[in-house]
Structure 1
Amino acid sequence: MRNIVVITLSSIIVALAYNLLLIPHEILSGGLSGIAIMLGIITPLNTGVLNLLLNLPLLILGVLKLGKRFIGYTILSVVVLSVSLYIIPVYKATQDPILASLFGGVIVGLGLGMIFRAAGSSGGFDIIAMLLSRKRDFPLGTLISAMNGIVVAISGFVFSWDAALLTLVSIYATGKVVDTIHTSHIKLTMMIITSKGEEVKQQLLEKLHRGVTIMDAKGAYSGEGRKVLITVITRYQLADVKAMIKEADAKAFVNILQTTEVIGVFDRGIK
């Protein structure tokens, strides 16, 4: 319930940033929402309706290919964002396009960061990047940046290159805030020290679909035996994994390390 509330409120915050700061100045956001904003400006269709229509095929594909919990939260975010964009009137909150670009990007980043922390996403390019990264070990950050670059280029040709530069500022600000709230690294290494190694292992293998390395250890003070489990995950899985570990062993000690590179087949994790 907490995650549902956070995702709902955060999606409304993103919609406010779009309709009050970005759209009035013809500034696009990153991802598929940016394309929806552009089409909403140049066509009579509402941005919220376009956002839902553009995301619909990807959401259906995500239901088939990605985790049910993740895609369920993503569907909630897309629906709430689309409805909010439809209901909230477009109003120019500031006359300065630079302020609109900067603060619009910051507020969008705040909303998206909270959605990521609640184990969801805003759909669009996030789903595309996750699906592609499962086929081959492409870095998600590079994929999303490349697709956002296409949005910036489209903005320049459709509107003006001033608008394209302002869009770039908005996307950059969004990314920085998301990284601050959630995590700036796409891959994370988790070291889990627990007295319930078998229970934690089963949770990770059944729900995470990543490989897990298990080592024996002993507490220096207590002298009691422990299990150390190591696995590598993406940033999108962090909230889910923390919930799994808490369910299996609420007293487990977990160390999360930033991972700059993974060599080998990432889908199988560490073996």
Structure 2
Amino acid sequence: MTRILIIIIGSILVGVAYNLFLIPHEILSSGLSGVAIMLGIITPFNTGLLNFLLNLPLLILGVLKLGKRFIFYTILSVVVLSVSLYVIPIIPVSTEPILSSVFGGVLTGIGIGLIFRSSGSSGGFDIIAMLLTQKKDFPLGALISAMNAVVVIASGFVFTWDAALNTMVAIYATGKVVDTIHTKHIKLTLMIVTRKGEEIKQKFLSSLYRGVTLMDAEGAYSGERQKMLMVVITRYQLADVKKMLHETDPNAFVNITETTEVVGSFHRS
């Protein structure tokens, strides 16, 4: 319940940042929300409605392909953000575009950081990148950066290049604040020895968006055959993982170590 409340607050903060700081000065955010803002400015349609419609097919795919808990939190975030954009009036707090881009980016970063800390995402390009990396071994960060670059370039052509530069400032500020709140994506490696390897594997795959390696293991003293699972998670998923392990096999042996770096496909939210 606490996570749901945090996601709702974070999504409302993002909506406030968009409608009070970014949209009045034709400044875009990162991701699919930036596309929704651009279309909302150049068409008569509301940005909140466009944000929901653009994310809808991706959310449907996410339900089918990604972890259930993660996609539930993402759906909640997208719905609350879309409603916020629809309800909150577009009123410029500042007349200075550069100040609006900085403060709008910071406020967006706070909101998205809170969403990430609660194991969700704001949808859009995050879902696209995750779906693509299931098929090809591409780094998620590079994919999302490339898609955000398209948003910045589009901003320059559709509006002005001043607006594009301000968009870059807003995206940079957002990224820095998200890293600060999300403590630079601390990762943990879990080695789990258990008699219920298949049950734990299925629970992880259905509830976490994480790859799991399953190996045969044998007790050196007892000679008992068991399973060993290796999984890399973010620190904020640890409480959920501990709960799942306690429910499935309270006697499982778990070794938890902090991971310095992960090379390859790893979702960092």
In which range does the TM-score fall when normalised by the shorter chain?
0.7 to 0.9
Aligned to 1:211: 213
Aligned to 2:259: 257
TM-score scaled by length of structure 1: 0.82
Aligned to 2:162: 162
Aligned to 2:32: 32
Give the Cα–Cα distance (whole angstroms) in 2 for the partners of residues 229 and 181 of structure 1: 30
Give the Cα–Cα distance (whole angstroms) in 1 for the partners of residues 104 and 197 of structure 2: 41
- Note closer, same or farther for the CA distance 1:191–1:61 as it changes in structure 2 (3 Å cut): closer
CA deviation after TM superposition for structure 1 residue 103, in Å: 1.2
Aligned to 2:3: 3
On the 8 A contact 1:27/1:164 being kept in 2, the answer is yes
Partner SS state of residue 259, structure 1: coil
Give the Cα–Cα distance (whole angstroms) in 1 for the partners of residues 239 and 261 of structure 2: 17
Give the Cα–Cα distance (whole angstroms) in 1 for the partners of residues 181 and 137 of structure 2: 25
CA deviation after TM superposition for structure 1 residue 203, in Å: 2.9
Aligned to 1:190: 189
Alignment length, in residue pairs? Answer: 250
Question: What letter is aligned with 1:135?
Answer: K
Aligned to 2:151: 151
Aligned to 1:224: none
Question: What letter is aligned with 2:104?
Answer: G
User: Once superposed, what is the RMSD of the aligned Cα atoms?
Assistant: 2.8
1:178 and 2:175 matched: no
CA deviation after TM superposition for structure 1 residue 229, in Å: 6.0
Post-superposition CA distance 1:81-133 (Å, at most 9, x none): 00010000001011111111111111111111111111111110000000011
Q: Which runs of 5+ in 1 are unaligned?
A: 218-226
Partner SS state of residue 35, structure 1: helix
Aligned to 1:137: 137
- Note closer, same or farther for the CA distance 1:7–1:228 as it changes in structure 2 (3 Å cut): same
Question: What letter is aligned with 2:257?
Answer: N
CA deviation after TM superposition for structure 1 residue 72, in Å: 0.9
Question: What letter is aligned with 1:244?
Answer: V
Give the Cα–Cα distance (whole angstroms) in 2 for the partners of residues 213 and 177 of structure 1: 39
Aligned residues with identical type, % of pairs: 58
CA deviation after TM superposition for structure 1 residue 12, in Å: 0.3
Give the Cα–Cα distance (whole angstroms) in 2 for the partners of residues 28 and 77 of structure 1: 19
On the 8 A contact 2:63/2:71 being kept in 1, the answer is yes
Aligned to 1:68: 68
Give the Cα–Cα distance (whole angstroms) in 1 for the partners of residues 8 and 133 of structure 2: 27
On the 8 A contact 1:190/1:231 being kept in 2, the answer is yes
Partner SS state of residue 232, structure 1: strand
CA deviation after TM superposition for structure 1 residue 228, in Å: 8.6
On the 8 A contact 1:246/1:252 being kept in 2, the answer is no
